[in-house]
Structure 1
Amino acid sequence: MCAQPPVIETEGTIYKGTFLRNNTVATFYGVPYAEPPVGDRRFRAPVPIKRRHGPGKTVVDASKEPNFCIQSLYGPTATVHGGAGSEDCLHLNIYVPPRVLRSRPSSAKLPTLVYIHGGAFKAGNPLAWPFDHWVEQFPDVVVVSVYYRLGIFGFLSAPNAKGALDYNAGFLDQLAALKWVKENIANFGGDPQKITINGQSAGGLSMELHLVANGGKQTLFQQVIGQSMWRIPLMQISETQAPFDFIMGEAGCNIAGYSNVQKIDCYRGKDIPTLMRSSENAMIKNSSWTPYPVIDGTILPGRPTQLINQGKFSKVPVLVGATTDENFFFTSSLQTDFNMWWPAMTNLSAIQQIYPSSDFANETIRAQTANGETMFRCPREHVAEAQTAAGKSAYAYRFDSMNPTQQGPPLVGHSAENWWMFRGVNTVENGTYAFTPFNSTSQSTFAKELLAYWVSFVRSGDPNVHRLEGSPIWPKWENGYVGGSSASPKGKRMVLKEGSTTGYRGKYQSGSRAEQEPAKELSRCHAVDALAPNLHI
């Protein structure tokens, strides 16, 4: 059907891609959006991509899977250290329905989804979350996935370091990618005025950060999908001196008499193994540091929960949610969890009152509920309520189907939806991943149901307009209470769950349904959100 590779020609550049899935998806891999952040550009803001040739057009070979960004140790209990990947990684993968190539692409104006991956800002390879099957199933969208710097390369911070580094370089990469999409996606058939950004886990926290960036006055997107919006305390730059000195010491750059600028200049010249060893030792030996975004006072003027509480966020339609048993660690102690994740809150009496032992069957469930709600589940209601109050549409969900390949307790844990949305993917260390084929009609149909809801929201701002036939109506979020009673929230969310093929003549019966927001859960979340200054969120 499409014998020649797909080509898109712009005023200054020719992009040569490849076809996937029996020529049903034109894919452009590794499209650069910024100059390689190497040499003197290491730890600095991305530099917009420039034409590298003189007369004539730049030719970009976008037919091969690109390098992913250098990976870091995922956590202090990980068995494999990081280091795989490349510094030259500021690329995009763009998935396009081939029909836009048959005419003038800029006339297509298809809604565009931009996906920002998770991985704790330390790991992640966008190829683990492919979108070719999305575009094959729904050839009315363009999808872009973003590579951004991770770990020490994206999130090195120190006080009094201006001129030597740019704070939150990895987040600046995301902004640069969105700017490139805004300026160039029309050439690939996308509509620059109809961009939805989507992220899960660290990508979900990125969604919150984009909502509050630059004082909540953004022009780079029109809608947001936030999956498991990871809510953690973010440091002020002034708080980063001690971990910075530890890292410099591990690399031999914590030299007496050196300013922070001189230490960074020393550090910039080290090889990648030295950078990895020093930063990973900091994560293992110095629990006060992990490579997360920091509050820089400009791009990120404050902590996201507090800014949203103050109304300082971009007002846009949202689709937001979390998994049923969302959590990171499964301890039996509320105090252990909060000392680990929110050490600034030294007096836990307020949290203990929000989560009294009498409300839970045992201390393990109490701890998991308090940690899971504070970190992942409450941001769902928080963002939905804020956007609804601002007059924007909000849709909330609870994802309730396990990753059937997971090990451990039978829970619908963190990232469970990724298995269903991305062809049975499980990610491993250092940018590797593996796919498990679906083994039943109910699995494959539920996956299609999920994608239909997501793509419908991208296309129309409403997950119902283009939903899969037989899927239930997803109610719009409502604030307040029925009759003013705090026992009856108006808010409803969609429970997303695998169905069965036990219906008439084996027809698939959706397992998804709408449910009322539980009053106790909403009350707890309101109380936790009010503690944002104490939790540093």
Structure 2
Amino acid sequence: MRLSIFLNSSFFLAVLGVPNVHATKAPTAKTKNGTYVGLTVPQLSQDIFRGIPFAQAPRFEVAQSLNSSWTGTHEAIEQGVTCSGYGTNNLLGLEVGEDCLNLNVVRPLGIKVKSKLPVMVWIYGGGFRQGSINDREFNTSYMVETSVQIGKPVIIVSINYRLSAFGFLSSKEVQSQGATNLGIRDQWKALEWIYENIEGFGGDPKQVTVWGESAGAFSIGWLTVAYGGQNSNLFQKAIMVSGSSFGIGSGNLVLAQSTYNALTNDTGCDQAIDSLQCLRERKCFFNSKAYVIKVYVVPFETLNKTITNLPAGLASFSPTLDGDIIRNSPSFAYAQNPPLIAPVDIITGCNTDEGMSEALGAQTPYNTSAEVENFLTAGLGVDSTVANEILALYPEDGQYPPYSQPMTLDWPALTATLGIQSGTQTRRVYGIINDYAMMAGRRLTAASWTPLTGKKAYSFRWDVDPTRIPLVYTAGLGVGFAEHGAELSFEFRLPYVSGSPYPPIPDVAAMRSVSYAMQAHFVAFAATGDPNMHHVDWIPRWPAYADGTQNFVYNATLDDTLNLHVEKDDFRSEQISWFNARWTYLN
């Protein structure tokens, strides 16, 4: 079935920041702080509110609720500030800064305060070091359009959270002052703001679905075990794409302390009695209008440059166990009776060839098993005995990503055409990291969820190769196939992405259809708790995981074949079971 989702140029003007707004009454939304005015985009039949602050973010401190209010209206039309990070955050021409805790809201046109629409909350990925709600890859307007088309209208909120050291600095100094995991706390603060204010936009605070990809999905995995699984009813459903509570694990506290020490040393704060306060300290000045302003002693530009120039080995940031918001490891939380997990319905899924992504560190030039063994001991923190157990499970003559291609391919020669060095063991490493980082955690989450929580779980496998041979390199992703992040443009149903390194959906009917099916599933799940309630008759039924341990498989090809189907989730059983039996120390 061919779906017409390509819209005219006025659409792109609207979603890319230059709205073609006609003379219609501007939409408003009342929050506890005051009333916001957004903009109406008739071409989309949508109202859009942008850059709404949901908290204040003092440097290296827990976000604080907004305490100001106003009469009249404030505009919510321009983009808000993007949180500082690495990679794309510094390449997209976005305004970057520390006061970045803001959100965007997209809703169907004409929604009233008492409409009580379901709410989807997008949490971006980016390795906890990059990402922004202003990245054009994360345009939620198509999802809202799909929701209206299938008769399940939703409101979508996209939230910023602090990144890299600003959001995930950890050390004994940071922990002693309760300032750990600020990025996760920012997400929690945004959910509190939504709970308190979304009714003013026409949303239902008791029908909230958190939805994220990669680090966004891992964030949701942490949110489901945050505060011992007590989520304060801030969300009732969760969609985790390429991430779960397992796989990446919590940050290494020894390495985190070394990062903190390097940062304070490079800024001179290591000489202060309180090094963390030194990084935070502000002084008061009078400006030209005799107003008192507070300025950081270590300027943002200096601190940001210092962070981005940290040695590669010290520039990895992720959530850490802190005894507060993240009190327990997921393995511990799942093992308790009752389990320390938020009782919410979930969708969890990942891509067939996740391990091929350069973001997961598997693009290696290895040619021997000894090199792979060293890679595993260093990267997974296991000893030689355990590393060799893994190698035995993934023999040299096995089938590895890209799973759609034979192992007889000269992979080193193919990647060399892109200037990327591979070895004869590279695809083997892809396969190990594929299961360790993504596939095992996805299966364990799906299998455990209903028995532990009594709530529904649905599992999927994304099996679309938007690029094949000749290989196509995408910065931040890798060399193609169903690698980590390959589903992003499909998830957002994007036929065109300006200013983003991610490729759009190929102009093939089957590719557009598989994208539409994914959106229909996600919207129906957010609206009803059942991804099948979309009324699109060409999409096969998706069974709950507890009804037969099955995945929904999204498959479409560049030669225009659509193959949506259901599969038994038992592939690579021995390998995946090995990982899932060992998360207590692997995670």
Shorter-chain TM-score tier: 0.7 to 0.9
Secondary structure (helix, strand or coil) at the match of 2:209 reads strand
Q: For residues 378 and 427 of structure 1, what CA distance do their matches in structure 2 show?
A: 35
Please state if 1:466 is matched with 2:466.
no
Please state if 1:31 is matched with 2:52.
yes
Q: Contact 1:70–1:84 (CA<8 Å) still a contact in 2?
A: no
Q: Contact 1:158–1:260 (CA<8 Å) still a contact in 2?
A: no
Please state if 1:322 is matched with 2:350.
yes
Q: For residues 446 and 170 of structure 1, what CA distance do their matches in structure 2 show?
A: 33
* TM superposition shift of 1:309: 4.2
Q: Contact 2:121–2:211 (CA<8 Å) still a contact in 1?
A: yes
Secondary structure (helix, strand or coil) at the match of 2:323 reads coil
Q: Contact 1:384–1:395 (CA<8 Å) still a contact in 2?
A: yes
Residue 302 of structure 1 aligns with which residue?
A: 328
* TM superposition shift of 1:109: 1.2
Please state if 1:131 is matched with 2:170.
no
Q: Contact 2:44–2:145 (CA<8 Å) still a contact in 1?
A: no
The amino acid across from 1:299 in the alignment is: I
Secondary structure (helix, strand or coil) at the match of 1:416 reads coil
Describe the shift of the 1:500–1:13 C-alpha distance in structure 2 as closer, same or farther (beyond 3 A): same
Q: For residues 580 and 219 of structure 2, what CA distance do their matches in structure 1 show?
A: 18
The 5-angstrom pairing of residues 16-165 of structure 1 reads 16-20=37-41, 22-35=43-56, 37=57, 41-53=58-70, 56-57=71-72, 59-73=73-87, 85-101=96-112, 105=113, 107-127=114-134, 128=136, 129-139=138-148, 140-161=153-174
Gaps of 5+ in 1: 480-489, 503-508
Please state if 1:290 is matched with 2:316.
yes
The amino acid across from 1:308 in the alignment is: Y
Aligned residues: 499
Q: For residues 394 and 184 of structure 1, what CA distance do their matches in structure 2 show?
A: 29
The amino acid across from 1:88 in the alignment is: D
Describe the shift of the 1:491–1:95 C-alpha distance in structure 2 as closer, same or farther (beyond 3 A): same
Describe the shift of the 1:23–1:493 C-alpha distance in structure 2 as closer, same or farther (beyond 3 A): closer
Q: Contact 1:398–1:495 (CA<8 Å) still a contact in 2?
A: yes
Describe the shift of the 1:337–1:163 C-alpha distance in structure 2 as closer, same or farther (beyond 3 A): closer
Q: Contact 1:425–1:433 (CA<8 Å) still a contact in 2?
A: no
1:82-136 deviations in whole A, cap 9, x for unaligned? 99612221111111112313xxx1x211111111000111111223301112112
* TM superposition shift of 1:207: 1.1
1:167-201 deviations in whole A, cap 9, x for unaligned? 11111110000011111111111111111101100
Aligned with 1:526 (options 577, 580, 586): 577
Secondary structure (helix, strand or coil) at the match of 2:81 reads coil
Residue 225 of structure 1 aligns with which residue?
A: 239
Percent of matched pairs sharing the same residue: 25
Q: Contact 2:34–2:69 (CA<8 Å) still a contact in 1?
A: no
Q: For residues 334 and 90 of structure 2, what CA distance do their matches in structure 1 show?
A: 38
* TM superposition shift of 1:271: 1.8
Q: Contact 1:161–1:260 (CA<8 Å) still a contact in 2?
A: no
Q: For residues 172 and 342 of structure 1, what CA distance do their matches in structure 2 show?
A: 27
Residue 448 of structure 2 aligns with which residue?
A: 386
Residue 495 of structure 1 aligns with which residue?
A: 553
Secondary structure (helix, strand or coil) at the match of 1:240 reads helix
Single out whichever of 467-476 and 170-179 deviates more from structure 2. Answer: 467-476
The amino acid across from 1:116 in the alignment is: I
Describe the shift of the 1:190–1:28 C-alpha distance in structure 2 as closer, same or farther (beyond 3 A): same
Residue 388 of structure 2 aligns with which residue?
A: 349
1:424-477 deviations in whole A, cap 9, x for unaligned? 46697xxx5677475233333332221111101111111111153201111211
Describe the shift of the 1:427–1:399 C-alpha distance in structure 2 as closer, same or farther (beyond 3 A): farther
Q: For residues 347 and 107 of structure 2, what CA distance do their matches in structure 1 show?
A: 23
Residue 506 of structure 1 aligns with which residue?
A: none
Describe the shift of the 1:357–1:116 C-alpha distance in structure 2 as closer, same or farther (beyond 3 A): same
1:324-383 deviations in whole A, cap 9, x for unaligned? 100222234543542453235564234234434464567433321111111011111111
Q: For residues 499 and 190 of structure 1, what CA distance do their matches in structure 2 show?
A: 37
Say what the alpha-carbon RMSD is for the aligned residues: 3.0
The amino acid across from 1:330 in the alignment is: Q
Q: For residues 324 and 176 of structure 2, what CA distance do their matches in structure 1 show?
A: 15
Describe the shift of the 1:501–1:309 C-alpha distance in structure 2 as closer, same or farther (beyond 3 A): same
Q: Contact 1:109–1:190 (CA<8 Å) still a contact in 2?
A: yes
Residue 413 of structure 1 aligns with which residue?
A: 483
Q: TM-score, normalised by structure 2?
A: 0.78
Q: TM-score, normalised by structure 1?
A: 0.84
Secondary structure (helix, strand or coil) at the match of 1:114 reads strand
